[in-house]
Amino acid sequence: MGADRNPWSLAGLVVGITGAGQGIGRGLAQAFAERGARLVVSDINADAADATARELRDAGSDAVALRVDVRNADEAAAQVAAAVQHFGRLDVMLCNAGIMQIKPLMDLEAADWDRMLGINLTGSFLTLQAAARQMLNQAPLADGRPRGKVINIASIAGRPGAGAIAGVIAPYRASKAAVISLTQSAAITLAPQITVNAICPGLVETDMWRGMDRDWASLQGLPQGEVWRQRVAGVPMGRPQNAQDVAGLALYLASPAADYMTGQSINIDGGLMMN
């Protein structure tokens, strides 16, 4: 970003995004690309990552894709290495890769728990750690600015409460609560060199939530779509989220305007949960 002191400028920023093949991750990639960022996008589905990068390049952006299983430390580090190889540094890392499962608490098996925490929590940790190792050894974004930024995608599911759905998403809720805690620990550890914040979305209209609606409706004997309708009916803003709603907050956190913010986990959920 050089000497550009525009508090909203993202031009030339080097951004890594995990889980960028679909849903929120793909929306994040599109939003950052539209504002002039250069991207390294990854997904466990190589074809999906390639499709995102191809779309960004076709629109005139610099984008590199690779397959990454975030549970593997070497693969998490490979995404950081790709950013350095292609663009010389890594300015922002978005730890977005995640999964969801609807299953009653008492029916869960150890493998369900391990897979959820492996991707959602361990994956975020390994990605954050790999990114921070690079950022600590590179020049600041500009004089008086951090050396880099990490943004974790958590969830309002990691907050207290959640109502009836809590009984069928226990591992997911545990993983996202832990991501919020990880964000705080990393922010303390890495300040003032690197800022670490988390975004907590609510009901984002993606394939993940469509799958949740299908599975939870089946458990309750409801028609498909009814669970989603009921959940959205409780949103004060009167509609579900889209990926661009989440991206707006991510763009702010990545910008110079948020250089003094660290250790925060911010709800963006249309008013479902108010602090």
| Residues designated catalytic | 172
CA 244 – CA 23 distance, rounded (Å):
10
**Burial of 107 from C-beta contacts in 10 A (0-12 / 13-18 / 19+):** exposed
CA distance 172 to 161: 13
Contacts of 178 (CB under 8 A, 6+ apart): 117, 121, 158
Contact 67, 73 (CB under 8 A): no
DSSP β-bridge partners for residue 14 = 38
Region class of 225: left (phi > 0), else alpha (psi between -120 and 50), else beta = left
- Identify the CA nearest to 14 among candidates 90, 65, 80, 86: 90
Of 158, 149, 77, 92, the residue nearest 120 (C-alpha): 158
CB atoms within 10 A of CB 200: 25
User: DSSP secondary-structure letter at 198?
Assistant: E
